[in-house]
Amino acid sequence: LDQLTALNDADGPLKGRLDLKQIGMAGHSFGGYTTLAVSGEVFPVAGHDLTLADARITAAISMSAPVPKNKDTLDKAFGSIKIPILHLTGTKDDSPIGETKAGERREAFDHSNVPGQTLIIFNDADHMVFAGAPRVAAPRPGDARIVELLHECCTAWWDCWLKGDAKARQWLLGGGFTAEMGGDGTFETK
């Protein structure tokens, strides 16, 4: 973000073209973890609470983020998040590395207190469908539909929170996306 600020101020193709008052952050897996970190997650480090929150970020999308091993600190870990986050996961989103199980990926949503938290759990989606890259092996049945839904909900999320688009907000949070998704997943918001 510091570099984007410098590029926005310096002579060049990006000078004055970046809206640095409406910044979104998104990531998958460890990138989802990083997204939660800069969104306000609190980490216990050497007896102190550490936060890497960046107040310049106004909304986020966290896909398949791992959760802290210590389940007793989840309220503290996620209770400091102050921005709207779209949490995305799947019913088969077990971690290929580490110990996070699919059902645990909702913990950040469950333990965040600020309004604007939204959770979408896609049926039969595994960890790698969120990566956006073609699979090395043959695609799994349903991958194309999940990717289509991801594009729709993420675009509407950014339009809603970064552009202030009331129509996108109504569609996403008012039932339009849920109707579009049908039986392919579940949708929760708070």
- Cα–chain center distance at 35: 7
Q: Evaluate if residue 159 carries a pLDDT over 80.
A: yes
pLDDT attached to residue 44: 87
pLDDT attached to residue 99: 81
CA distance to 21, 65, 122, 151, 165, per residue, from 172 (Å) = 23, 22, 15, 12, 11
- Give pLDDT tens digits for 106-149: 999 999 999 999 999 999 999 989 987 666 666 777 889 999 99
Average pLDDT score over residue span 6-30: 95
The answer to whether residues 56 and 1 touch, using CB atoms and an 8 Å cutoff, is: yes
- Give pLDDT tens digits for 160-187: 999 999 999 999 999 999 999 999 999 9
Q: What does pTM read for this prediction?
A: 0.93
Alpha helices (H) along 28-110: 30-39, 74-78, 107-110
Q: Evaluate if residue 16 carries a pLDDT over 80.
A: yes
